[in-house]
Amino acid sequence: MDAFITLIVSFAIPTAIVAAIFVALLFYVLPREVRTIFKRELKSYFTSPIAYVLFVVFLGISNALSFFFTGVLEGGEADLFLPYFQYLPWYLILIAPAVGMRLWSEEQRLGTLELMLTMPLAPWHAILGKYLAAAVVLFTMLVLSFPIVWTVNFLGEPDNGVLMAGFVATYFVALCFLAVTSVISAITRSQLVALLVSVAICLILWLGGLPHLSEMLMNLKGGWLVAWPVLKLVNMVGVMPHFTELAKGVLGLRDIVFFVSFIAFCLFATSVAIRLKRA
């Protein structure tokens, strides 16, 4: 029973908080237009098979891989962080762009962009409404991976606070990848191109933060004159270190600011991409 209560405290409450943030944003903070776009977009995720397929793929891969290949079952302590969360961002490199690829490219393919942009709303209403809908899809996906937490709690006595931090960190990474996809899908009308390019960029973003790369950069300064600034930039925006910090359970302001500003920048870039598309 005690374990049950801890579970509720450490998961249901944070989940409810995130859900409440969404509701508050949509119903009290943001204008009606954002809500209308959000509703349409979310409905369209769940009336088509996309969301369900992605859920199954994500949950299947993440659970199967963590159990079969990373040895949670044998690792007596049931410390979920390393085996489970370390791999989640890797799946998200594929899953987040798959959720976001249709955001703007579908709009361009159908020609409805013309309709939307001649309606009385600011482009950021549409950008935000769509982004939030996709963010809710990713959130639902993470919430659905709850059984793994239950399993681990059944098997041992993990630190649920750290588990929760793992989920928060993972969600931030997912939101970053989604924001990147939003920009790319505004550039192309092909969902496939949007998916492939976004996956590539997310991969670079993720790998760019590898600790090895930072070390390499220290030693490379002299040569590689052309590549160095590029590598340095990639290294600076690499999301991995921020993920690792957050996932450890250190709720650092620095990392949260990084994630939030990264997302804000991408959404701004989306609006620029849409404007360029029209000119």
Residues contributing to the site for another protein (CB under 8 A): 32-33, 36-37, 40, 44, 47-48, 110-112, 114-122, 278-279
If the CB atoms of residues 109 and 232 are measured against another protein, the closer one turns out to be: 109
Q: In the complex, what is the shortest distance from the CB of residue 271 to another protein, in angstroms, rounded to a whole number?
A: 13
If the CB atoms of residues 63 and 190 are measured against another protein, the closer one turns out to be: 190
Q: In the complex, what is the shortest distance from the CB of residue 44 to another protein, in angstroms, rounded to a whole number?
A: 5
Cβ-proximal residues to 238 (8 Å cutoff; 6+ apart), any chain: 205, 206, 207, 208, 209, 210, 213
Q: In the complex, what is the shortest distance from the CB of residue 279 to another protein, in angstroms, rounded to a whole number?
A: 6
If the CB atoms of residues 33 and 79 are measured against another protein, the closer one turns out to be: 33
Q: In the complex, what is the shortest distance from the CB of residue 255 to another protein, in angstroms, rounded to a whole number?
A: 37
If the CB atoms of residues 78 and 137 are measured against another protein, the closer one turns out to be: 137
- Report the distance separating Cα 92 and Cα 206, nearest Å: 10
Q: In the complex, what is the shortest distance from the CB of residue 38 to another protein, in angstroms, rounded to a whole number?
A: 11
If the CB atoms of residues 102 and 242 are measured against another protein, the closer one turns out to be: 102
